[in-house]
Structure 1
Amino acid sequence: MHGKLPEHFNLASHFLDAPAALHPGRVAIIGEPREITYSELAALANRAGNALCAQGVSHGDRVLIAQPDSAEFIAAFFGAAKIGAVAVPVNPFARSSDYIHYLENSEPQAAIVHSESLAEFLPASSVRPQIPIVVVGEETIDSHGVSCAKWNDWIAAASEQLAAADTSPRDAAFMLYTSGSGGAPKAAVHRHADSLVASRNYAQSVLGLRADDLTFSVSKLFFAYGLGNGMYFPLSAGARMMLNPERTSVPHVIDLVARYRPTIFFAVPTFYAAVLREAERPERRVDFSSVRKCVSAGETLPAEIFNAWKRQFGIEILDGIGSTEMLHIFISSVPGKCKPGSCGFPVPGYEVKIVDDAGESVRDGEIGTLWVRGASAFAEYWRIPELTARTKRDDWVVTGDKFFCDSEGYYHYCGRADDMLKVAGMWVSPMEVENALLGHPHVAEAAVVGATDERGLSYSVAHVVLRGNAQGSEKLAAEICEHVKARLVSYKVPREVRFCSELPKTVTGKIQRFKLRGA
């Protein structure tokens, strides 16, 4: 990381107070639904922090935030961090069972919830003794007898002036739940300095984010990838951000890009594929001419999608690999040096190594488990010390991702350790097979998982979503397998093709392969 950290450091002071003092009238949020300046955003966060203090929230207490992407989300997040509390952003579109888990696990002292989330949140809130609940939103709500404060009244009584708590760079600032692509979400605890490290390492060193940039992240703020893209990256550069409080839909995002004309666009591979399908419609105009950089993470970006996007829009997608544990991207493609199907090189400020099961480094071209280290690494998994000990080895973080590094130094993601297949005694990367499947003209999406036959032998199964009006059939399944066989060695060809209307995904767009394995 560039530069040493001071002895005292507060996340909110750095990302909100400092830029608000330098350029108070500059627009921070361009929409939706309205423009908000840096000074207005800082004042709103101060009000939220003061209001939390008035409710008895203090240093180290958790504050649950179930908000769509909005100024209120940002104010609640930084307001909590500024008083030394721990912000816990969660999915505002979650179900009651999810909220029960978040409440029981994080044991918050207060919750700031959007009115549209209340129907699912309130039944879950009974698992904990009554905590202060603040409701954001204009609509009339039925709280079913649960005491709730309204956001506008709550902040109106609070001062716009707030001195930051005396926090250190290593104090806990927020907790992020993993997206659950591998099971139940667990919370990674991050410290005040971690966002500073990630913004210096990636937003500055790789993206070259500027004050005249306008960022737009399809991935939401409660997700580690989206939190950087859509909030603290633009704040770190004095740039503007565009927020979409609605559920993600491809047509709406396309319309927002055309209307607001962002310069930096962040999404996940499945979303880029969906935009390309939309662009194929003859009556649909898709305009990305304002965008100077596109970024993809969450899962590996198939070479087919990279190439198709470049053909369609003339922009290279910068593919990267990051994690909730490391907060953001730590291996990334570099502008002008993109290799389709590769994640690129380690981001400045991070070290990586690929090791075998004994922890020894493997040779170039060999698949192994990726370990990473850098100053943005999480402090711990909240209340899971045994998993923290298995994942953190001294200052290395064991990612659970399978990778290889080619002879030119490019890193290639092969899948999660539990997604890798062993067929005929040889490793098969589902990503490689999926990329071959995506090259077939009728295949829109694909996920490859392992299965076991009656003799106990492993084989691969391809779950395929078809384009347009194409219909699944035995003939088409055989044709798809022949397509893969023409491109890969025989043991990598799926034995079976199953057609489906959609693939199970997390809310952040990751394919939930464990659900397909159990199908």
Structure 2
Amino acid sequence: MNSASPPSRPSPPHSRPEAERYTAHLDTFARDGLPPEPLRPDVLLDLPTLRFPARLNCASDLLDGAAGPQDRAGPLALLSPSGVRWTYAELTATVSRIAHVLTEDMGLVPGNRVLLRGANTPMLVAIWLAVVRAGGVVVATMPLLRAKELAYVIGKAEITHAFCESALRPELDAAGAGVRTMYYLDDAPADGARADDLETAMAAKTDWFMPVDTAGTDPCLIAFTSGTTGNPKATVHTHRDVMAVCRSFPRHVLRATCEDRFIGSPSLAFTYGLGGLLLFPLYLGASVVLLDRASPSHLARAVEEFGATVCFSGPTAYRAMCLDPAAYDLSSLRECVSAGEPLPQVTRKMWKELTGRGLIDGLGSTEMLHIFVALRGKEARTRPGSIGRPVPGYVTSIVDGNGRPLPYGEVGALAVKGPTGCHYLDDERQSEYVRGGWNITGDACWADKEGYIYYHARLDDMIVSAGYNISPVEVEATLLTHPAVRECAAVAAPDDERGAVVQAHVVPADGYTPSPELVRELQQFAKTAMAPYKYPRVITFCAELPRAGTGKVQRFRLRADEGGTAERRPEGVSGDTVSG
């Protein structure tokens, strides 16, 4: 079996020690919306590095240096292409001024929820830290969200305050926020030549703000899921959760130091980006380059310009950088992390050939805050196809529909426990994610006897055709090795005979034109590379794949594509959809 023995369930609230009942929150909305005790996950804090004091403000630890003795005043903390170069002392002063604005001008009290709307910039980082330092709860949003989506977030989290980059104001205004809002420029200018509401208010404030004495179990962050299976879920994380992820993945897997310079493409509103581009570098006392535009070409150019050593991005971006004809110098990179989507072996190989460096593959979720299963590049050579083992501090199990552990090698649902876990805000879907203290992540996987995990599919993305379980990830990985395929995504298409068949949505590589001949070539290629029952019987060509703001492919939109229900006819053509 592959299951860890479950720890005892937490004691009910009334029997908790006084230290765990303490809260600095005067506005207790976020705490009050947490799931009832029986539906909460077991929390594992067994490692010595995961033991925290009862009183903890993570923004204070991130700025002041909880990772060890180090001079935090002089070293660079944040950089940007616009010319910002803030030391830790300058960042702390900026954070303090913003915290004064929050509490003195905007009336924030501990526990209030503060909406953040902006691209990845030093100012957004400073605002994030200021909200948490002042005892507030951050609710960061993707810059691409529209008024309707923002209105949902504002209502669900009962937002009380907001900071919005001036360029993104129209959608927030259209959402009818009705909350106390301040606007800011993308980067605070060093010469003071430009100013908006926030910059003007900051000018009159002092450069020190005493952190609010929050409890480690006080919420400091509400992160919304991407909403690919319904309304986005609001996940609540505490000060202790934030510091726990800082002491797990970067310490045991990434192995970065204060000498590193971080860079990456995910938004800070995406918890993957939050960890890689804010929490981890500041925890370590390293520097980070914030890119307000992070297309693969912008990212590659910035790596060369700033000499970045640690990169956080996704498989699609790494593949695009490999295919970019422009020659950027990426030799400064030491560690590169891939997450958000399954990492195809062909992409791993291409990156190794381009840079000489391996990729760290990571599996995480908004519910767990960050990566909980990871595979370093060197391990990939001996465990091809694996996504790795649990990050130290976490344990995993592969279970059936009743939560019973399955034998090694058998595909089932991935269950996880660790120092972080799922706490949905006032959401009946909590009982679907947490069962018996385990977090059921929605990933279908199998494990070998050494504890390495192999990804099969998202449980709701599994393709069942004529009784066969087919992994869309395997289909995609196979097609990506063909030179005609730039990107692809496989989903189930309804079929009268088989129940469903594999439909591949393919973005052709440069120089290739969609045609029935190309479809037959790809289908024959797939048949010879994997079991014939897995080959895509329907291929749809498209200019691009639909993606959420996190960069993940929105498979539900592909499944709704009319091509999936096109008339069945051997090797026929229906628009850009070909059935074979």
TM-score in terms of structure 2 length = 0.84
Where does structure 1 lack aligned partners over 5 or more consecutive residues? 140-147
Moved more, 488-497 or 447-456: 447-456
- State whether structure 2 residue 97 is matched by structure 1 residue 47: yes
How far, CA to CA, are the matches of 2:452 and 2:261 in structure 1? Answer: 29
Question: How far is the alpha carbon of 1:375 from its aligned partner?
Answer: 1.0
Task: Give the alignment of 1:124-135 within 5 angstroms.
Answer: 124=175, 126=176, 128=177, 130-135=178-183
- State whether structure 2 residue 158 is matched by structure 1 residue 107: yes
Question: How far is the alpha carbon of 1:363 from its aligned partner?
Answer: 1.4
Cα-to-partner distance string for 1:475-501 (whole Å, 9 max, x where unaligned): 110110110100111211111111111
- State whether structure 2 residue 303 is matched by structure 1 residue 257: yes
Question: How far is the alpha carbon of 1:390 from its aligned partner?
Answer: 2.5
Task: Give the alignment of 1:363-402 within 5 angstroms.
Answer: 363-378=407-422, 380-384=423-427, 386-402=428-444
1:21·1:39 contact (CA, 8 Å) conserved in 2?
Answer: no
How far, CA to CA, are the matches of 2:420 and 2:124 in structure 1? Answer: 22
1:342·1:411 contact (CA, 8 Å) conserved in 2?
Answer: yes
Task: Give the alignment of 1:263-282 within 5 angstroms.
Answer: 263-278=309-324, 281=325
Determine the structure 2 residue equivalent to 1:145.
none
Matched AA of 1:332: A
How far, CA to CA, are the matches of 1:233 and 1:138 in structure 2? Answer: 22
How far, CA to CA, are the matches of 1:370 and 1:134 in structure 2? Answer: 42
Question: How far is the alpha carbon of 1:245 from its aligned partner?
Answer: 1.5
Task: Give the alignment of 1:459-478 within 5 angstroms.
Answer: 459-478=501-520
Determine the structure 2 residue equivalent to 1:136.
184
How far, CA to CA, are the matches of 1:367 and 1:39 in structure 2? Answer: 51
Determine the structure 2 residue equivalent to 1:409.
451
Moved more, 61-70 or 183-192: 183-192
How far, CA to CA, are the matches of 2:438 and 2:496 in structure 1? Answer: 41
Task: Give the alignment of 1:350-369 within 5 angstroms.
Answer: 350-369=394-413
Determine the structure 1 residue equivalent to 2:385.
341
Question: How far is the alpha carbon of 1:409 from its aligned partner?
Answer: 3.3
How far, CA to CA, are the matches of 2:150 and 2:444 in structure 1? Answer: 32
1:133·1:149 contact (CA, 8 Å) conserved in 2?
Answer: no
Check 1:340–1:509 CA distance in 2 against 1; reply closer, same or farther (3 A cut): farther
Task: Give the alignment of 1:486-497 within 5 angstroms.
Answer: 486-497=528-539
Determine the structure 2 residue equivalent to 1:178.
225
Determine the structure 2 residue equivalent to 1:143.
none
Determine the structure 2 residue equivalent to 1:120.
171
How far, CA to CA, are the matches of 2:162 and 2:153 in structure 1? Answer: 11
Question: How far is the alpha carbon of 1:408 from its aligned partner?
Answer: 4.6
Task: Give the alignment of 1:195-214 within 5 angstroms.
Answer: 195-214=242-261
SS at match of 2:530: coil
Where do 4+ consecutive residues of structure 1 move more than 6 Å? Answer: none
After superposition, the CA RMSD in angstroms is 1.8
How far, CA to CA, are the matches of 1:326 and 1:3 in structure 2? Answer: 15
How far, CA to CA, are the matches of 2:394 and 2:248 in structure 1? Answer: 8
1:32·1:70 contact (CA, 8 Å) conserved in 2?
Answer: no
Cα-to-partner distance string for 1:149-205 (whole Å, 9 max, x where unaligned): 711112223332222212111110011111233343221110001121111110011
How far, CA to CA, are the matches of 1:352 and 1:407 in structure 2? Answer: 13
How far, CA to CA, are the matches of 2:196 and 2:108 in structure 1? Answer: 15
1:84 to 135, 141, 154: 135
How far, CA to CA, are the matches of 2:332 and 2:302 in structure 1? Answer: 12
Check 1:194–1:3 CA distance in 2 against 1; reply closer, same or farther (3 A cut): closer
Determine the structure 2 residue equivalent to 1:68.
119
- State whether structure 2 residue 52 is matched by structure 1 residue 5: yes
Matched AA of 1:213: D
- State whether structure 2 residue 360 is matched by structure 1 residue 311: no
Check 1:515–1:268 CA distance in 2 against 1; reply closer, same or farther (3 A cut): same
Cα-to-partner distance string for 1:252-271 (whole Å, 9 max, x where unaligned): 11111111111111111111
- State whether structure 2 residue 143 is matched by structure 1 residue 97: no
- State whether structure 2 residue 492 is matched by structure 1 residue 444: no
Determine the structure 1 residue equivalent to 2:551.
509
How far, CA to CA, are the matches of 2:186 and 2:543 in structure 1? Answer: 36
2:373·2:387 contact (CA, 8 Å) conserved in 1?
Answer: yes
1:64·1:110 contact (CA, 8 Å) conserved in 2?
Answer: yes
Task: Give the alignment of 1:156-305 within 5 angstroms.
Answer: 156-246=203-293, 248-278=294-324, 281=325, 284-305=326-347
Check 1:458–1:8 CA distance in 2 against 1; reply closer, same or farther (3 A cut): same
How far, CA to CA, are the matches of 1:408 and 1:309 in structure 2? Answer: 27
Question: How far is the alpha carbon of 1:138 from its aligned partner?
Answer: 7.2
Matched AA of 1:258: E
TM-score in terms of structure 1 length = 0.93
1:306·1:340 contact (CA, 8 Å) conserved in 2?
Answer: no
Cα-to-partner distance string for 1:375-394 (whole Å, 9 max, x where unaligned): 1224x21221x212321234
Question: How far is the alpha carbon of 1:21 from its aligned partner?
Answer: 8.4
Check 1:220–1:440 CA distance in 2 against 1; reply closer, same or farther (3 A cut): same
Matched AA of 1:76: I
How far, CA to CA, are the matches of 2:226 and 2:323 in structure 1? Answer: 26
SS at match of 2:247: helix
How far, CA to CA, are the matches of 2:307 and 2:50 in structure 1? Answer: 34
Cα-to-partner distance string for 1:319-341 (whole Å, 9 max, x where unaligned): 11000111111000035212443
Moved more, 230-239 or 13-22: 13-22
Matched AA of 2:472: P
Where does structure 2 lack aligned partners over 5 or more consecutive residues? 1-46, 188-194, 562-580
2:74 to 15, 21, 25: 25
| Residue-pair matches, total | 501
1:89·1:222 contact (CA, 8 Å) conserved in 2?
Answer: yes
Q: RCO higher in 1 or 2 (8 Å CA, sep ≥ 6)?
A: 2
Matched AA of 1:134: M
Check 1:72–1:138 CA distance in 2 against 1; reply closer, same or farther (3 A cut): closer
Matched AA of 1:260: F
SS at match of 2:501: strand
Matched AA of 2:62: F
SS at match of 1:381: coil
Question: How far is the alpha carbon of 1:469 from its aligned partner?
Answer: 2.2
How far, CA to CA, are the matches of 1:230 and 1:116 in structure 2? Answer: 22
Question: How far is the alpha carbon of 1:22 from its aligned partner?
Answer: 3.3
Check 1:344–1:21 CA distance in 2 against 1; reply closer, same or farther (3 A cut): closer
2:296·2:318 contact (CA, 8 Å) conserved in 1?
Answer: no
How far, CA to CA, are the matches of 1:207 and 1:105 in structure 2? Answer: 35
